[in-house]
Amino acid sequence: MKKFGIFLNPHNAEKEKIFNLLKDLHFKYHLNLISLCKKDVILPDFISKNCDASPDIILVFGGDGTILRAKSFSIKYNAPMLGINTGNLGFLSEIAPDELGKSIEYLLNGKYKVQSRMMLKVYVKRDKEKIPLDDALNDVVIYKGVTPKLIDISLYSNGRSVVETRCDGLILSTPTGSTAYSLSAGGPILSPIMDAIVAAPLNPHVLTVRPMVFSSKDVLSVKVNPQSLIQIDGQNSFELKNGDKLFATASEKRVNFVKLGNRTFFQILRKKLHMGKK
C-alpha cells in the first residue's frame, strides 16, 4: 500500500486540523497523498494534485454524507475507503482522527480486512426510453415532494404485484442503508455484508403496510401517481412523471470498506445507536 487518496468536504470545520495531521503522517511515514477533491479546492503542497495517479486506498474525512459522495472514487479506482469521522454520528466511519496514526501503521503492514458492500442499480423507464440513474450505496427515496397530499404507490417484485398503498413515499434500501433513513421509517436492521433490499413505506395510510425485505436478485419496480421526486443517497434529485416506472436491483458494482481491528457491526450499533441501553 503506497498511495493514499484524500477526500474531504472543503467546508469541513476541522479542515486545518486534518491538514496538520496529514502533514505529520506524510513526513513520518513518507506517504504518497493524492487529492480527490475538486480542482478549485486549495490544498497543502504535500498533497499531490496528480489526477492520473490511482490511489490504493481512500481516506475519507467527514461524516456519512461525505463517505456517500466518495463512493464514486472508490468504484473508479477499485480502492477501498477508510472513513475518519469528523462529522456527527459517523456510522459508516471506521475510526476517529486521533486513531489515524496507528491505523496508517496497520495499513502499511497489511493488517486490515476489506469488507464488500452491495449497491442498488437504479433506472427509470419513461415510455420506451430507459434512463439510468446513479447507483445507491444507502438508499433510493421516492418522495411526494411539494404536494401536500399522499401519493399512490404500486410496488412490484419481478413484475408481480406486491402492494398498492397511499403514503408520503417509499425507501428502497441496501443493508448498508438499513441503519439510515429506512430505520427511521421503521425498517429492520440488516448486517451490512448481506445482499438484500428493504422496501420501507413512508407514513402509509393503512397501518398494515409494513417494511419488507427482498432478495437482492429480485427486480423491484415502482409506479407512482401523481409525479414525485427521487433522491439517491440523499442527493441527485430526479423527477418521476406520471406513467414512469422506477426499477431497482442489486448492482454489479460494489463498494469496499477497510476494516481495522475486531470491532463488530453490533458493537457499533450499541455504541452509536445506543441499541439495548436502558
Q: How many CB atoms lie within 10 A of CB 159?
A: 7
In single-letter form, the type of residue at position 187 comes to G
- Grid cell locating 87: 462529522
C-alpha cell at 276: 439495548
Closest by Cα among 141, 209, 150 to 180 = 141
Q: How far apart are CA 74 and CA 243, in angstroms?
A: 35
- In angstroms, how far is the first alpha carbon of the chain from the final one? 43
Among residues 24, 40, 52, 64, the one annotated as catalytic is 64
Q: Which residues contact 107 (CB under 8 A, 6 or more apart)?
A: 1, 57, 82, 258
User: CA nearest 200: which of 225, 172, 219, 221?
Assistant: 172
Q: Is 64 a catalytic residue?
A: yes
The amino acid at residue 13 is A
| Partners of 60 in the β-ladder | 7, 83
Catalytic residues: 64
